[in-house]
Amino acid sequence: MSSTDNTPADKLATRAADEFRGLYGAAPEGVWAAPGRANLIGEHTDYNDGFALPFALPQRTRVAAARRTDGTLRLHSADVPSGVLTLRVADLDPAHPPQPPHGWARYPAGAVWALIDADLPVGPRGGADLHIRSDVPTGAGLSSSAALEVAAALALTELYGIPLARPELAALARRAENAYVGVPCGVMDQMASACATDGHALHLDTRDLRQQHIPFDCAAAGLRLLVIDTRVQHDLADGAYAERRASCHAAAAALGLPALRDLPYAELDRALGRLGDPALRRRVRHVVTENERVVRVEELLRAGRLREAGPLLTEGHASLRDDYEVSCPELDLAVATARAAGAYGARMTGGGFGGSALALIDADAEPAVTRAVTEAFARAGYRPPRITAAEPSAGAHRVL
Ligand code: GLA
């Protein structure tokens, strides 16, 4: 599927094209972009076949690209000073991914590997020159990795004329991250980056990748979504994420279910009575109540009752903090302070253990909430948070 940009001129894309020319001595054949994401609600549900409601951020990763005919893949990033990395497409191997200082290259290299592994005709004689420039913050829980994988995969498939529906593109990008980069994530981030649309949240059923675009126009409702980056770096590759995932799968097996998605909210209490381990009970309660919250928030969005979604966001945070135990003091402080300063609701977004929180506020409350959170962080001795407003934005597309 080909798509061109309908958003205002993208300066970073033009810059990426100019830099490409300087690096590789010829113009790129195109520039593609894929956004980072925030998740409105539906956390740690995507590896339980559950629901999520993410949206695309205005920050994107641009990939300027051109084909090659010699089986070589050349990769360069404007964001990491590590020079051009040259690889043989036929040698791409998950057992030997690029190492530091080219660690970032695992994501685009993984995308190329996933395409070839799926027998999509990029190689072995094909290849590409890629140059990357991104304004998606890294380590902020806003899916800079998914943005890079999806942008690279989209560039390659469009360059090589490989017709791929967006959910398939997202699934390949996720495979790159799971099998090549080695991070056991679900599919939400790649789906949001590949499929989201401007002014909408993406209602995602992670069992069959069915999606619906739910109108989510905060500005028209006089609202704003703040993204509060705590600047505490999370690392999904560490054991906690994999441990939560394994607990959920163990609980589903103990309950005789294919996945926790199959446990209806109305049957939660009875099911909890069948699980002996209190920690496992808390994990299950989070997943089942979170799926229910996605459904309720989606209904409120469809009814244009955006403010009323606030309390459900806050409830979701409490569940992640107390039952799923993936929050951290900085996220809790961001949420509590935003709420005390007038937010309708606030919650951590993404995998947790650091990263960012979201706060739903009245548009004119932005200065007061920003100040309150910044001051609270200073008083607690934390690094100054980075606070920006986010409009639900376009998913991956060709820019130039
Ligand atoms: C990370 C993962 C996603 C998802 C979230 C939690 O962002 O990459 O797949 O599991 O955590 O909702």
CATH number of the domain within which 90 lies? 3.30.230.10
> How confident is the model at residue 237, as a pLDDT?
55
Total number of domains in the chain: 2
In 3D, which of 339, 324, 236 has the Cα closest to residue 279? Answer: 324
Say yes or no: 293 and 145 in one domain.
no
Question: Among residues 46, 129, 189, 323, which one is catalytic?
Answer: 189
Please confirm, yes or no, whether 322 is among the known catalytic residues: no
- Produce one character per residue of 296-329: b if its CB has 16 or more CB atoms within 10 Å, e if not: ebbebbeeeebbbbbebbbbbbebbbebbebbbe
- Judge whether residue 8 has pLDDT over 90: no
Domain boundary among the residues 213, 234, 267 is at 213
Say yes or no: 101 and 64 in one domain.
yes
Q: Any idea what DSSP says for residue 209?
A: T
Say yes or no: 257 and 317 in one domain.
yes
223: domain CATH number is: 3.30.70.890
| Nearest-angstrom CA–CA distance, 246 and 266 | 24
> How confident is the model at residue 3, as a pLDDT?
43
SS3 call for 241:
helix
Looking at the CA of residue 44, tell me the nearest atom of ligand 1.
Answer: 12
Domain boundary among the residues 186, 213, 240 is at 213
> How confident is the model at residue 9, as a pLDDT?
62
Given pLDDT bands bounded at 50, 70 and 90, which one contains residue 123? low
User: Region 385-395: what's the mean pLDDT?
Assistant: 97
Domain boundary among the residues 183, 213, 243 is at 213
> How confident is the model at residue 7, as a pLDDT?
52
Flag whether 135 is in a domain.
yes
Q: What's the pLDDT tens digit per position in 146-182?
A: 999 999 999 999 999 999 999 999 999 999 999 999 9
Say yes or no: 199 and 227 in one domain.
no
Say yes or no: 253 and 364 in one domain.
yes
User: Candidates 183, 189, 234: which one to mutate for ligand 1, based on the most atoms within 8 Å of Cβ?
Assistant: 189
Q: Any idea what DSSP says for residue 265?
A: G
Cβ–Cβ < 8 Å for 73, 350? no
> How confident is the model at residue 124, as a pLDDT?
62
Flag whether 36 is in a domain.
yes
Q: Any idea what DSSP says for residue 49?
A: T
Looking at the CA of residue 47, tell me the nearest atom of ligand 1.
Answer: 10
For residue 165, how far is its CA from the centre of ligand 1 (angstroms)?
Answer: 22
Q: What is the dihedral of CA 292, 296, 298, 302, to 10 degrees?
A: 160
In 3D, which of 135, 90, 151 has the Cα closest to residue 117? Answer: 90
- Judge whether residue 234 has pLDDT over 80: no
Say yes or no: 245 and 378 in one domain.
yes
| Nearest-angstrom CA–CA distance, 385 and 144 | 18
User: Region 127-135: what's the mean pLDDT?
Assistant: 97
Helices 166-175, 188-195: inter-axial angle, 10-degree rounding = 140
User: Candidates 185, 206, 348: which one to mutate for ligand 1, based on the most atoms within 8 Å of Cβ?
Assistant: 185
Flag whether 47 is in a domain.
yes
Say yes or no: 203 and 126 in one domain.
yes
Given pLDDT bands bounded at 50, 70 and 90, which one contains residue 125? confident
Flag whether 397 is in a domain.
no
Neighbours of 335 (CB within 10 A): 27
Say yes or no: 386 and 257 in one domain.
yes
> How confident is the model at residue 158, as a pLDDT?
97
% of the chain surpassing 70 pLDDT: 96
User: Region 289-306: what's the mean pLDDT?
Assistant: 98
> How confident is the model at residue 111, as a pLDDT?
98
Flag whether 4 is in a domain.
no
- Judge whether residue 97 has pLDDT over 80: yes
For residue 212, how far is its CA from the centre of ligand 1 (angstroms)?
Answer: 19
The amino acid at residue 88 is: R
350 in contact with ligand 1, CB cutoff 6 A: yes
| Domain that residue 99 falls in | 11-213
| Nearest-angstrom CA–CA distance, 161 and 149 | 18
> How confident is the model at residue 131, as a pLDDT?
98
> How confident is the model at residue 263, as a pLDDT?
98
Residue 312, both tokens: 């459900």
Distance of CA 354 to CAs 129, 218, 226, 234, Å? 34, 25, 16, 5
Q: What's the pLDDT tens digit per position in 14-64?
A: 999 999 999 999 999 999 999 999 999 999 999 999 999 999 999 999 999
Q: What's the pLDDT tens digit per position in 104-113?
A: 999 999 999 9
What size, in residues, is the chain?
A: 400
The amino acid at residue 118 is: A
Say yes or no: 239 and 208 in one domain.
no
User: Region 2-22: what's the mean pLDDT?
Assistant: 78
| β 85-88/127-134 pair status | unpaired
Given pLDDT bands bounded at 50, 70 and 90, which one contains residue 238? confident
> How confident is the model at residue 2, as a pLDDT?
40
Say yes or no: 372 and 229 in one domain.
yes
Given pLDDT bands bounded at 50, 70 and 90, which one contains residue 1? very low
Say yes or no: 195 and 167 in one domain.
yes
Say yes or no: 116 and 262 in one domain.
no
Distance of CA 74 to CAs 86, 131, 251, 291, 396, Å? 5, 8, 44, 42, 22
| Nearest-angstrom CA–CA distance, 301 and 316 | 16
